[in-house]
Amino acid sequence: MSLAVWFSLLTACVVISFTPGAGAINTMSNALRQGWRRSIWGILGQQLALIVHVVIVAAGLGLIVSQSELLFNVIRYAGAAYLVFLGIRLILTRPTIPEADDDAQGDLHEGHWSMIRRGFWVNLLNPKAIVFFLAFIPQFIKLDEPQLPQYLTLIVTVMIVDILVMWGFFAVAARPFRRLTRSPRGQRILNSIFGVLFIAVAALLVVLH
């Protein structure tokens, strides 16, 4: 991959990562409820899903998903249902009284693997991401050159940019609102807001084609 092509890839990744979506909502919610440092675990889960998306497209399965209305809809509705589940669970979460430290727990500390799993499924159950990568990847992968180095460069670039944007922007953007987590009322407000956002993204996933 030439430097010019890589720079184009880098620019595209930055623009894509800054586009708000379920991953950004999940990151901000984690940062508010679990602290900025611990929000990285959810972000890492989201990166694992990105890797799976790229592998699916590289293996040719992405084309099958994009051309099969049934398969596309199964994944789409499963993703929407999962986001609705997360939204309702967040809305119904009971408030707790956190410690004074800025990065102390907002709720009881959630396990690393639980945050990783949720981040993974939030990103994975989005068939539009597969279709997007199906259109995105051919712009930067040349078929007449070795495939593996190109795909590795693409995956590493996508992951590094997304981690920096999620942790360095969306998670940081949530920190000023951490003071609201100091009271049960503030926690209920934030949980309701992010719960509704998850449900709204689910609705968009179902309605928009």
pLDDT digits 0-9 by tens, 169-196 = 889 988 877 776 667 777 787 778 878 8
Q: Determine the pLDDT at residue 120.
A: 95
Query: The domain containing residue 189 runs over which residues?
Result: 22-207
pLDDT digits 0-9 by tens, 65-99 = 667 778 778 877 887 888 888 888 878 877 665 54
pLDDT digits 0-9 by tens, 131-160 = 777 777 777 778 778 888 888 888 999 899
71 belongs to a structural domain:
yes
Pick 165 or 4 by higher pLDDT: 165
27 belongs to a structural domain:
yes
Q: What is the C-alpha to C-alpha distance for residues 129 and 26, in angstroms, rounded to an integer? A: 16
156 belongs to a structural domain:
yes
Q: Degrees (nearest 5) of the Cα angle 124, 134, 203?
A: 45
146 belongs to a structural domain:
yes
- DSSP string for 173-193: HHGGGGGGGGSHHHHHHHHHH
3 belongs to a structural domain:
no
Q: How confident is the model at residue 102 (pLDDT cuts 50, 70, 90)?
A: very low
Q: What is the C-alpha to C-alpha distance for residues 42 and 39, in angstroms, rounded to an integer? A: 6
Question: What's the total number of domains in the chain?
Answer: 1
pTM over 0.85: no
109 belongs to a structural domain:
yes
121 belongs to a structural domain:
yes
Alpha helices in 35-106 (DSSP H): 40-58, 61-67, 69-91
75 belongs to a structural domain:
yes
